[in-house]
Structure 1
Amino acid sequence: MSPYITVIGTGYLGATHAACMAELGFRVLGVDVDQQKLAKLAAGELPFYEPELAELVARHVASGRLSFTDSYEHAAEVGDVHFLCVGTPQQPNTDGADLSYLNAAADRLAPGLQRPCLVVGKSTVPVGTADALTRRIQAAAPAGTGVEVAWNPEFLREGYAVADTLAPDRLVFGVQSPGGERALRDVYASLLAEGTPVVTTDVRTAELIKASANSFLATKISFINAIAELCEAAGADVVKLAEALRYDPRIGDRFLSPGVGFGGGCLPKDIRALLARANELGVGSALRFLDDADRTNLRARRRVVDLARQECGGSFAGRRVGVLGAAFKPNSDDIRDSPALAVAAAIQAAGAEIAVYDPQANDNARKHFPTMDIALSAVDAARGAHVLLHLTEWPEFAGADPAEFAAVAAERRIVDGRNTLDPARWQAAGWRFRAPGRPQLDALNPEEVNP
C-alpha cells in the first residue's frame, strides 16, 4: 500500500512538492497555518506564480488526491511520511538561519505521532539541524524512537519547480537507518525507475549538500561579476570572455552570466547561513570567500546604479528611469531580495522618478514599494525615461522592439543589467547601449541618442 504523504508548509516549496507527489499517484495532505493560503489552494488556486503548478494543484484537488488542512493532529494521524517544507529565512540581526518555523512545525506535529513514521526535512538548514530535530521530535512523540528524521534536500529553481520535482537531476537521501532509506525509495520509486541518480548518505552530509550547492553557484556568479568589473577597467568584453570560459568542461556553461547579480529567498541567505555555521564550528576562515562572494554580489547592484547615473549625466535629480523587471528572476513573481528592485530603490532614493514593469511581479512590487510608479507595460515604463534599465531577463523584454521604446523615451539610453539583450538591435534603433563588463556601444545614429 502506498504511503500517505503530508507536506508541512505550503509555500513555493511545499505547494510544489505536495502537487507533484499527488501527480506521482500518492494521497497528499498539505498543512499550513495560513487560512487565506489554504483557502486558495483548496479551491485549486495558487497564492503565487509558478508555471504549470496551478494546473497541477487544480487537477489533483479535483481528483481527491490532494487536500489541505490546518490540523496538525489530523496530519499526524493519517501520515506515514511527513515532509517539512517550511521557510528557514535569515535571522533578523545575524547571518544565521532562523529555525523557528521549522521547530514550531515539529512541535505541533510530534505530539500526534502515535505510530512509527518518517519525518523528512526538505528545507535548507545548518548542518546538525536534523540531529537536534530528532531529539526534539522523539522526546515529544508518543511513538518515541519509532519516529525517524531524514533529510531530502530540494534543488528546485523557481520558474521550473514542477519539472525539477518530477524530473530531478539527482535525489539525495540523508537517512539514519535502512528503514528510512526504504521509505524514501518507496516515495520516489517511479523517478528512480526512470533512472534518476540517488545519493544515499547520513543526515549531516545531506544538509551540507544543499548548502554547498547554493554556495558554489553564488560564488560562480560573483566571480564572473568581479571579472566584469575588471573588464570595464581594462576595456575588455566580459560577455565574450564568459563565452570562452563556457567551452572549458572544467568550468561548465551555467551561471556565467555577468550582470546585476543574484537574489531571491535562497542564495543570499544560504551562503550567509553556511558561513555562520562554519564560524560556530570554528572553521569560518575556511569559508571566508563566501563573505567576499556576498559583497561582490551587492557590489554588482551598485555598479548598475553607477552606470545608470553616468547615463543620466552624473545625477538622478529630475530624471526619470524606466526599469524592466521586478522579480528576482524570470518565470516568477518572487521579489525577495530582488536585485532589480534593490537597484530601483537606490536610484529612487538618489532623486530619480522610477517606473517599474514586470510581467508577473507588479502586484508584489506595488505592495512592498508603494512610492514607485508601477507601469502597466514595458513601453509605459519607458515612457519619458532618460535611461532604461533591463534588470530581469524575461523573454518579453529580449523580444521587444527597441524602436517601440524609442518612440516614447525621453532619451535613448539603455543599461542591460543582465547582459542578455542584443546590442546591435538597440543600436540600430538609435540607442546608446551600456552593460556591466562591456565597452560602451554608441547608437548607430549618434544624433538620435537625445532626440
Structure 2
Amino acid sequence: MKISVIGTNYLGATTAAGLAEFGFDVVGVDIDEARVKVLGSGRAPLYEPGLDELLRKHTDSGRLRFTTDYREVADWAQVFFICVGTPQGAHGAADLSQVQAVVDTLAPLLTGPALVVGRSTVPVGTAAWIGRRFAERTGDLPGLEVAWQPEFLREAHAVEDTLHPDRLVFGVCSESAERTLREIFARPIDEGSPVIVTDRETAELVKAAANSFLAMKISYINALAGLCETVGADVSTLADALGHDKRIGRGSLSAGPGYGGGCLPKDLHAFTARAEELGSTELGGLLRQVDLINSARQARIVGVLAEALEGGLEGKAIAVLGAAFKAETDDIRESPALSVAELIRARGAAVTLFDPQAMENARRAFPLITYADSAVDACVGAHAVVHLTDWPQFRELDPRALREVVANPVLIDARLSLDLDAWSEAGWACHPRTAKA
C-alpha cells in the first residue's frame, strides 16, 4: 500500500516516519520548501526525541521521501492522511483554512479510488464537510471516502505514541475503510493496542473531549494547589492520595503553572466555541471556567514571587528556569513558563531565562527577555529564581553552588518538583514551602 501524508510539521512528520516504520512506502507533502528540504535530509523541523533517527532510517532506506508537489502523489497513493495545522481562529474557533486548502488542491488531481484519512484536530462535523467539498470538486468520484483517525501524540513521546498507541480510533462510513485502517495499523493492533470503530462524528469528538478533560484535570489540581497554599496543606501528597482512586488516577494531577503547548489551549478553545455554536451552553461555561483557572494560576505565581520579595518586582533581577511548555520539547506555544516570565517583566523586573532546548524559539517570540547560556548564568545576580519547566537538568542543580551566585536566595518552585529540603538547608527561602519533592 502506498500512503501520502499531507502536512509535515510535528504531527505529519511523526506520522510519516511511523508509517514507514510499519513497512509502507510513504511520501510526505508540504508547501513549505524549507521544511521539505530538512525532512528529506532525514532531520525533523523541530525537537522531538527519537524523531531524527526514525526519519533518517527511512529516508535512507527509500521508504520515505518528501515533496512540495501534490501531483507526485495524486495518482500514486491509495491513502492520504491529512495532518495540517488547525490553529486557533477568531473567537477561539478552529481555523480550517489549511484543511480546505488540502482538499481544494488534491481534489482536482484525483482520478481513482482513494481513502482520505483526517488526523488533524477539528470541530465535530468537519469530516462530513470535507466529504461534501470533495464531492463538489471531483464530481462524486467513485471510490473516494473520508475517514477520521484522531491522533493522541504527547510531545516528547510522539515517536513512542505513534509506534505503540494506547488506543486507535477509526471513524469510518464503510467496512472497506475499516479494513484499510486495520491493515495500516496492523503492527500496533497485533501488539495489543485497542481499536474503537465508530462514526466520524464520534471520532472527531474523541480528541477534543480528551484534551479538554485533561485541561480540566490540570486546572482542578491547580485550583486545589491554591487552596493548599492558603491553609498550609501539601498539594503533592493530596494528589498522591487522589491518584490512588482508580476512578481518577495520578496522571496529570501535578500542580504547576498550568497547561500549555499547541494542543490543550487550542483544542479547549475550539471545543468551547463548537459546543456553544451547537447550543451546549453548560459545557461551554464549564470549559471557559477551566481556561480562567489556568490563567489565574500563572498570575498567582507572580503574586507569590512579589510577596516573597516584599518590596515588589520593580527593578529586581529574576532568573527564570524554563521556556518550553514542558520538558523534552522545544515547543513554546502557549507556554505557561513564558506567560509567567512576561508577567514578571511587565511588573518592572529584568528577566533572564534559560531552557535546554527552547532558547531560539523563545528568543524569536519574546525578544525583550534576556537569555543566558546556562542555568547558572541565568541566576547570576538574581533576586529570585523561578522554576517553571520541569527539565531533569534543573532538578540536578546544586543549591549550595547556586547560592553563591545569586543576590538573594529566593526560590519559587512553580513545578513543585525540586528537593525543597535540600534547597532550604542550603540557605534558600523556598515557596510554596508546603510542597515536597
**TM-score tier after normalising by the smaller chain length:** over 0.9
Match of 1:25 in 2: 23
Q: CA deviation at 1:319?
A: 0.4
> Residue 115 of structure 1 contacts residue 142 of structure 1 at CA under 8 Å; is this kept in 2?
no
Match of 2:434 in 1: 439
Tell me which of 388, 400, 404 is aligned to 1:403: 400
Match of 1:329 in 2: 326
Tell me which of 339, 343, 349 is aligned to 1:342: 339
2:142 and 2:324 map into 1 onto residues whose CA distance is 44
Tell me which of 214, 221, 225 is aligned to 1:224: 221
> Does 2:66 match 1:71?
no
Match of 1:379 in 2: 376
Aligned pairs for 1:16-415 within 5 A? 16-91=14-89, 93-141=90-138, 144-415=141-412
CA deviation vs aligned residue, 1:303-362 (integer Å, no higher than 9, x gap):
111111112224211100000000011110000010000110111111111111000000
Q: CA deviation at 1:147?
A: 1.0
Q: TM-score, normalised by structure 2?
A: 0.98
Tell me which of 2, 5, 10 is aligned to 1:4: 2
Secondary structure of the equivalent of 1:322? strand
1:402 and 1:141 map into 2 onto residues whose CA distance is 65
1:40 and 1:19 map into 2 onto residues whose CA distance is 14
> Residue 235 of structure 2 contacts residue 435 of structure 2 at CA under 8 Å; is this kept in 1?
no
Q: CA deviation at 1:141?
A: 2.5
- One-letter identity of the residue aligned with 1:150: A
Q: CA deviation at 1:142?
A: 5.9
* CA RMSD in angstroms, aligned pairs only: 1.2
Secondary structure of the equivalent of 2:92? coil
C-alpha spacing 1:147/1:440, structure 2 compared with 1 (3 Å): closer
Secondary structure of the equivalent of 2:75? helix
C-alpha spacing 1:252/1:440, structure 2 compared with 1 (3 Å): closer
Secondary structure of the equivalent of 1:94? helix
1:440 and 1:312 map into 2 onto residues whose CA distance is 19
1:359 and 1:59 map into 2 onto residues whose CA distance is 26
1:390 and 1:426 map into 2 onto residues whose CA distance is 13
Q: TM-score, normalised by structure 1?
A: 0.95
Q: Which runs of 5+ in 1 are unaligned?
A: 442-451
2:385 and 2:40 map into 1 onto residues whose CA distance is 41
Q: CA deviation at 1:145?
A: 4.4
Match of 1:446 in 2: none
2:136 and 2:75 map into 1 onto residues whose CA distance is 18
Q: CA deviation at 1:44?
A: 1.2
1:120 and 1:421 map into 2 onto residues whose CA distance is 44
Count the aligned residue pairs: 436
1:5 and 1:74 map into 2 onto residues whose CA distance is 12
> Residue 82 of structure 2 contacts residue 118 of structure 2 at CA under 8 Å; is this kept in 1?
yes
Match of 1:449 in 2: none
> Residue 272 of structure 2 contacts residue 283 of structure 2 at CA under 8 Å; is this kept in 1?
no
1:377 and 1:142 map into 2 onto residues whose CA distance is 59
Question: Which segments of structure 1 move beyond 6 Å, counting only runs of 4 or more?
Answer: none
2:139 and 2:188 map into 1 onto residues whose CA distance is 33
- One-letter identity of the residue aligned with 1:333: D
Secondary structure of the equivalent of 1:252? coil
Match of 1:445 in 2: none
1:288 and 1:98 map into 2 onto residues whose CA distance is 21
Q: CA deviation at 1:440?
A: 8.3
Q: CA deviation at 1:143?
A: 6.2
Q: CA deviation at 1:240?
A: 1.5
> Residue 414 of structure 1 contacts residue 434 of structure 1 at CA under 8 Å; is this kept in 2?
yes
1:74 and 1:180 map into 2 onto residues whose CA distance is 23
- One-letter identity of the residue aligned with 1:106: V
- One-letter identity of the residue aligned with 2:97: S
